[in-house]
Amino acid sequence: MLLIDCPHCGPRDETEFSCGGEAHIARPLAENSITDAEFAEYLFWRDNPKGVFLERWCHDAGCRRWFNAARDTVSHAFLEIYPMGSLPKTDAGKAAYAGSWRRKTASEAAAKPSSAKGGKA
Ligand SMILES: [Zn+2]
């Protein structure tokens, strides 16, 4: 059983929470001209990494407020909890944010094709 540290209520049992899935997914804007396949990609495709993952959580049985978390999917440890509308501050959270292709809309990704995998130090 996990204890999740709600930023509004303090540590509570995991059964009081629900995970709303991946955080920081770029939403297509009305002015974006995207294909049905690109919209389906936005709507249905989600990362499932082994390691640090950025998620949205809701304290359903408590304050009913949403927050973001950087969580290790291997150990289930919560590395960082931070408010909605903000970005992770830990190095692991920043790396998870920067490492995901989900931060750009389909149009942005198409306009600026990413270079080879792997990063520079
Ligand atoms: Zn709460």
CB contact at 8 A, 106 and 89: no
Give the environment of ion ligand 1: residues with CB less than 5 A: 6, 8-9, 59, 62-63
Q: pLDDT digits over 20-67, tens only? A: 999 988 887 777 788 888 888 888 888 888 999 999 999 999 999 999
Q: Is the pTM of this model over 0.85?
A: no
What's the CA-to-centroid distance between 66 and ligand 1, angstroms? 8
CATH number of 3-26+36-104: 3.30.2270.10
What's the CA-to-centroid distance between 60 and ligand 1, angstroms? 8
Mean pLDDT of 82-105: 87
Q: pLDDT digits over 70-86, tens only? A: 999 999 999 999 999 99
- What is the model's pLDDT at position 119? 39
What's the CA-to-centroid distance between 25 and ligand 1, angstroms? 23
Residues 104 and 97: their CA atoms lie apart, in Å, by 11
Q: Where are the domains of the chain?
A: 3-26+36-104
What's the CA-to-centroid distance between 114 and ligand 1, angstroms? 39
What's the CA-to-centroid distance between 16 and ligand 1, angstroms? 9
The β-bridge partners of 52 are 72
